[in-house]
Amino acid sequence: MKRTLLFVLIGILVLIMAACGQNEASNTINNDSENLSTDGKQEVNEQSNSGKTDGDQILNLDLFVEAFTNEGIEIDKNEKPLFSMIGAKDGIIFYVENQPVKIYEFDSEKAMEEAEETLPAMKDWGRNGLFLLETSNEKSKEIFNNVK
């Protein structure tokens, strides 16, 4: 009887924790997308006015999504890893050849360095600007590294 009650309580606790985690993640995603919609346009305009040619692009998560989509990989932009747990500002998860591919976006080099101190395994992940790639899939690593 005690074991049954214990398992029921643990199950309820897990469900509550999962629900709370989803609310925090969706709030963070909404806040980030609002900031990108205003700040992102200003950055593009400032850089284009500073002498950059049309061929120069600012790396953003959409460029990575586009690169993978162009290779025939289906990506649901709403699928998000728990990026806030490692200090990233945004992220996306999808699968290539049944292997998970996670791309994390950081605010700054400092934020990325702090995350690497917390999780030393991140030093082995692919890096492109302020983006990290967590996967063992070689095809994904090649696509990720080719985004400029």
State residue 134 phi and psi, 5-degree precision: -110, 105
What is the rounded CA–CA span in Å between residue 8 and residue 10? 5
100 in the same domain as 70 = yes
107 in the same domain as 144 = yes
Q: Strands 126-128, 99-105: parallel, antiparallel or unpaired by DSSP?
A: unpaired
69 in the same domain as 50 = no
65 in the same domain as 29 = no
Which of 9 and 39 is assigned the larger pLDDT? 9
65 in the same domain as 18 = no
131 in the same domain as 82 = yes
81 in the same domain as 27 = no
Structure confidence by residue, pLDDT tens digits, 20-67: 765 444 444 444 444 444 444 433 333 333 333 344 567 888 889 899
Length, in residues, of the chain: 148
78 in the same domain as 32 = no
8 in the same domain as 69 = no
- In total, how many domains does the chain have? 2
Domain endpoint, select from 11, 35, 54: 54
Domain that holds residue 126: 59-148
117 in the same domain as 89 = yes
66 in the same domain as 3 = no
Q: Strands 90-96, 131-134: parallel, antiparallel or unpaired by DSSP?
A: unpaired
143 in the same domain as 130 = yes
Structure confidence by residue, pLDDT tens digits, 55-114: 456 788 888 989 999 999 888 888 888 888 888 889 989 999 989 999 999 988 888 888
Query: What angle do the packed helices 61-70 and 138-146 form, to 10 degrees?
Result: 120
